[in-house]
Homo-oligomer: A and B are copies of this chain.
Amino acid sequence: MTLPPLIQSFVLHFGEMGSRWGINRTVGQIYALLYVSPEPLCADEIVEALGVSRSNVSMSLRELQGWNLVLLKHQPGDRRDFYTTPDDVWVILRTLAEERKKREVDPTLSVLREILLQQPSGENERFAQERMAEMHGLIEQLTTWYDDVKQLDAERLATLLSLGAKVTKVLDTKDKIVALGRRRSASEES
């Protein structure tokens, strides 16, 4: 691997982190490399930069495509495939969230649903089912919220984010105003 030191640290870090997520080292490194490259890279350039085998790069790129984390570009008059990452970090975040949900949350949700349909035999199973129902409920709440929020355009999302917990303050204020309005119209009626 022969990369500028600053880029190399980044790439190596993503390689390490890879294993904490479900992805492997090479996949992480390739992603990092593409992310910081000004121009799309072709497979051989990646081989060169990271010092791993051609076939490994091929398989890893395939996996990244499965995650929708890389884009394929073609240079006119060149038969090779060139790869980049989407350049808007928010887009990347959404994709990541979507894919992780698909792989990590949805399967669990469907296993839970299936089990909850069954008839428990015995007290232990009954109790277990109750616990699973709690878990199922929580996950469902979270995914509903997520499905809802992911529709928002970047701007509103940013507003919400920067407000953070202050949103509850706004909610409180609104309640007060509504209450005030009610009182007012009540007194007007009398």
Contacts and interface: CB of A to CB of B under 8 A. Distances in A.
A174 interface: yes
Interface stretch (A52-60, A74-82, A140-148): A140-148
Interface string A12-49: 01000101111000000000000111100000000000
Counting chain B CB atoms within 10 Å of each CB, the highest count among A104, A132, A152 belongs to A132
Contacts of A151: 165
Contact of A174 (B145, B161, B170): B170
B111 A9 contact: yes
A93 B138 contact: yes
A190 interface: no
Contact of A103 (B20, B89, B131): B20
Nearest to A108: B17
A104 B10 contact: no
Copies of this protein in the complex? 2
Contacts of A185: none
Q: Mostly helix, strand, loop or mixed at chain A's interface?
A: helix
Contact of A161 (B22, B111, B145, B156): B145
A166 B171 CA distance: 11
Contacts of A36: 127-128, 131-132
A168 B174 contact: no
Given A36-B127, A159-B168, 18 more contacts: A4-B121, A6-B115, A6-B120, A7-B125, A9-B111, A9-B115, A10-B132, A13-B107, A20-B22, A35-B135, A36-B128, A38-B127, A141-B162, A144-B164, A145-B164, A152-B165, A167-B167, A174-B174
